[in-house]
Amino acid sequence: MNRRGFLFTLLAAQAAWLLLGCHGSEQKPTPASGASGEPAQAGPVSLNGAGATFPYPLYSKWMAEYNRLHPDIMINYQSIGSGGGIRQIQARTVDFGASDAPMTPDEESKAPGKLVHIPTTLGAVVLAYSLGGVPELKLDPEAVAGIFLGSITKWNDPKIAASNAGVNLPNTPVVVAYRSDGSGTTAVFTDYLAKISPEWKDKVGVGKSVKWPIGIGAKGNEGVTGQIKTSPGSVGYVELAYAMQNSLPMAELKNAAGKYVKPDISAITAAAAGVDMPDTLHVSITNPAGETAYPISSFTYLLVYEDAADPVKGKVLADFLWWAVHDGQKLAEPLYYAPLPGPVVGKIEGRLKTLKAAGQVLLSKP
Amino acid sequence: MPPSSSELSLVRAQPRILRRLGREANPGDLIFRALAGLFATLVLITLLVMAVQMGHASLPSLRRFGPGFITSTEWDPVRDLFGAAPFIYGTLVSSFLALAIAVPVALGVALFLTELAPTWLRQPLAFVVELLAAIPSVVYGLWGIFALAPFLRDHVEPGLAKSLGFLPFFRGPRQGYGMLAGGIILAIMILPTIASVSREVFRAVPDTYREGALALGATQWESLRDVVLPFARSGLVGAIILGLGRALGETMAVTMVIGNRTEISASLFAPSYTMASVIANEFTEATGDLYLASLAEIGLLLFFVTLLLNIVARLLVWRVAMPSRAK
């Protein structure tokens, strides 16, 4: 009845917490068997993870596929949001977490052990719009910032018209749609805006939820998509997959090299290829330098403890991650995620080999 | 026929009579009484535990912002500045807007169903009204996005702006999504609750009253206005309170159409935000203690707003009920 939605959310969260919590306390470290010191896997193993919603379609595909290849390994993933994923891995109620935005130093310090970011795939945020009679729209950084700061209010504004010579732009209001729910998509998009516009950086900032200077908030990718579809003259940011599946027109964006780039898989991988990946394995790749790079893309990460509590589970998880960044990448493209570029995979390989449990290295790869 | 007042008082006096007869010791009765009492207490305990837990969870924000949290209009997670005023405003205005639209319609529906409609029509029509309550709120929300908001933008809001634009409520850009859409969605969602409870209330009015009024020469309208409505008054307030409760707490459908902006604007065309919506929107991705605490405090405030309105309503019911039922 009243407060039902709220109560339900709270109760569901509580229930999930309790369930996972109990589960977590059951798992006792199984002693490593055999003289080799290699943890032996006896019987079925199940891993639990929770976090970001953005990579969920790919993760669930991976986990189903991995289960097909290794029938005694069950990996469960709950897409409860990056914030929840970070909280649960901090509390060790799950075996791995997942987040679109890397953890802040403050969040890392709250975890009981060292957490490692493993980039798993790449996604892009696109500017979808609905403007009858304008099938192709080009936007430069100034125009994008102007639209979302509210300084550009009409579609035929000179700042938009400048990069769309020959296009008949209507004299109608620009209706901005943004995500009302906290999301990694918003974090990536505001990260881009802060890089291209000092004004945005000062006035608004970067985050999963920000105080939008203008526009209407819609819930989820589906909400923004719905709003764009039903409101003529609207523009908003959604994940590439949503724009593709709903065949929304997407704006071409001018990248740092001055080239207009369409959002597609190769342009996203190109954005990641040019980046100098630090040893922490997390880095922002918005507004990258490459000629063919799409400017608003990002990695998404799985969060695992460097020193696993349970050697058996730790080994299974490390094997799965190895598989995910190699064979698993082939499953990305049909779901509109971009595969990780080779150099990044090499870097991840090095990191995965350092994962250990009770001082023993888990992977025995060459 | 409803029970007469003497029958009612006999039922109420039952425990006293039993005690006087010395039959209190019946173990079955005792067990039943203990069990029922336990269940009743359980509700109270749940409520108390929830309030305490939410209070505990919101401690950091209570400490940081104090009472200013309620009046501050700033909600900026990036800068860790939080204030609840836009959400409280949005919740109250959207709920009362919903009541303003739903109550007259619901009372009309209920009166038609009990007093005016031909008998063969009453059951099917009542069934259809109650069916509205069975639609999940996310479906209302989708309908809001794809049908209601565009319709409001293209057909309703221009008309309102033209004819009533001199009022501050109907000004500004017309986007469809906003307070008006939220209020209308809520009105449709609480309509079946109010209508079906009111119908039961009207049905409880003894037929002898109506017959008496008609026999004295009253028209049907006069009998409704002077006999049925006054008799049903306290029950109707209860029905409206139930609807209000649902409107205050409704989350999903409102979130999908209200526009989710932390602004206080007099215009009904402007986007707004509700307390339940902001929790649903931001709780899952909220990181940082102060952010989570502020969301918990919004929950606590929603709790108190609901409690307060229920208390006020209860007092109202007692006041209007006093003259008709001597206690």
Average pLDDT over residues B18-41: 81
pLDDT digits (tens, 9 = 90+) for A121-141: 999 999 999 998 888 999 999
- Chain A residue nearest residue B178, CA to CA: A216
Same structural domain for residues A279 and A308? no
Last residue of a domain, one of A281, A297, A313: A297
Same structural domain for residues A61 and A93? yes
pLDDT digits (tens, 9 = 90+) for B65-74: 999 999 999 9
Q: Do B142 and A9 touch (CB under 8 A)?
A: no
pLDDT at A221: 86
CB contacts < 8 A (A, B): 139
Residue A228 lies in a domain: yes
Same structural domain for residues A143 and A292? yes
Q: How confident is the model at residue B325 (pLDDT cuts 50, 70, 90)?
A: very low
Q: Do A211 and B279 touch (CB under 8 A)?
A: no
Residues in B 60-119 with any Cβ partner in A closer than 8 A: 74-79
Residue A356 lies in a domain: yes
Q: Do B79 and A9 touch (CB under 8 A)?
A: no
Q: Do B249 and A212 touch (CB under 8 A)?
A: no
Task: Count Cα neighbours of A3 within 13 Å in the Cβ-side half-sphere.
Answer: 17
Q: Do A2 and B79 touch (CB under 8 A)?
A: no
Q: Do B175 and A226 touch (CB under 8 A)?
A: no
Q: Do B137 and A107 touch (CB under 8 A)?
A: no
Q: What is the CATH number of the domain that holds A164?
A: 3.40.190.10
Residue A241 lies in a domain: yes
Same structural domain for residues A112 and A170? no
Residue A148 lies in a domain: yes
Q: In the predicted model, what is the mean pLDDT of chain A?
A: 87
Q: Could you tell me the CA-to-CA distances from A360 to A38, A312, A323, B181 in Å, in that order?
A: 8, 11, 20, 60
pLDDT at A206: 93
Q: Do A83 and B284 touch (CB under 8 A)?
A: yes
Last residue of a domain, one of A273, A297, A321: A297
Last residue of a domain, one of A279, A297, A315: A297
Q: Do B306 and A210 touch (CB under 8 A)?
A: no
Residue A48 lies in a domain: yes
The number of folded domains in chain A is: 2
Residue numbers in A near B259 (CB within 8 A): 216-217
Q: Does B256 touch chain A (CB under 8 A)?
A: yes
Inform me whether the pLDDT recorded for A154 exceeds 60: yes
Same structural domain for residues A116 and A15? yes
Residue numbers in A near B284 (CB within 8 A): 80-81, 83-84, 181-182
Same structural domain for residues A156 and A243? yes
Same structural domain for residues A146 and A108? no
- Chain A residue nearest residue B143, CA to CA: A226
pLDDT digits (tens, 9 = 90+) for A196-210: 999 999 999 999 899
Same structural domain for residues A304 and A292? no
User: Which residues, listed in sequence order, are joined to residue A119 by a DSSP beta bridge?
Assistant: A301
Q: Which of A80, A209, A216 sits opposite B177 (nearest CB)?
A: A216
The boundaries of the domain holding residue A107 are 3-123+300-361
Inform me whether the pLDDT recorded for B11 exceeds 80: no
Residue numbers in B near A84 (CB within 8 A): 284-285
pLDDT digits (tens, 9 = 90+) for B294-303: 999 999 999 9
Residue A318 lies in a domain: yes
Residue A260 lies in a domain: yes
- Chain B residue nearest residue A11, CA to CA: B50
Give the span between the Cα atoms of B71 and B85, in whole angstroms: 5
Residue numbers in A near B55 (CB within 8 A): none
pLDDT digits (tens, 9 = 90+) for A309-364: 889 999 999 999 999 999 999 999 999 999 999 999 999 999 999 998 888 888 87
What would the two tokens of residue A166 be?
């020959």
Same structural domain for residues A136 and A265? yes
Best mutation site among A18, A115, A180 for testing chain B: the one with the most B CBs within 10 Å?
A: A180
Same structural domain for residues A314 and A274? no
Same structural domain for residues A105 and A49? yes
Q: Which of B145, B246, B252 sits opposite A227 (nearest CB)?
A: B145
**Residue among B280, B291, B84 at smallest CA distance from A8:** B280
Distance from the Cα of B287 to chain A's closest Cα (Å) equals: 6
Same structural domain for residues A144 and A192? yes
Residue A366 lies in a domain: no
Residue numbers in A near B287 (CB within 8 A): 83, 86-87, 104, 107, 208
pLDDT at B8: 54
Q: In the predicted model, what is the mean pLDDT of chain B?
A: 88
Q: What is the ipTM of this complex?
A: 0.81
Q: How confident is the model at residue A215 (pLDDT cuts 50, 70, 90)?
A: very high
pLDDT digits (tens, 9 = 90+) for B131-188: 988 899 999 999 999 999 999 999 999 899 888 888 888 888 888 999 999 999 999 9
